[in-house]
Amino acid sequence: MHTLIVINDPPYGTERLYNGLRLAHALIKHGSEVTVFLMGDAVVGGKAGQQTPDGFYNVERMLKRVINKGRVLLCGTCLDARGLTDEELVDGAERSTMDELAQTTEAADKVLIF
């Protein structure tokens, strides 16, 4: 089964991105193929070099866990609007497009929005 998870909220301040990634990890653990698409303020979560206090979740580490077994795509327009370049992204995270999101949506068995 292929699951697409689309996340819109920023990496910190709300817990939607955190919870979406937690679900992605659980789905991967249970054998699902997972693609995470970050758009809007969620693309900031794809920035490498995040430093969080001890005991606090770190979105960069969580994304790397998804990348190891699935895909993480980031809206290119959203990255550009926030001044983020491909060189600043977590290794393995991919700049993407709305066309690729449309194709991934059509190919997915389930689509979840956070």
Structural domain boundaries in the chain: 2-49+59-113
What is the homologous superfamily of the domain 2-49+59-113 according to CATH? DsrEFH-like (3.40.1260.10)
Query: What letter does residue 6 receive in the DSSP assignment?
Result: E
- Per-residue pLDDT band at 97 (split at 50, 70, 90): very high
* Those residues with Cβ within 8 angstroms of residue 26's Cβ, 6 or more apart along the chain or in another chain: none
Q: What is the pLDDT of residues 74-90, one digit of tens each?
A: 999 999 999 999 999 99
Q: How many CA atoms lie within 13 A of 103 on its CB side?
A: 6
Q: What is the pLDDT of residue 91?
A: 97
Q: What is the pLDDT of residue 32?
A: 97
- Per-residue pLDDT band at 2 (split at 50, 70, 90): very high
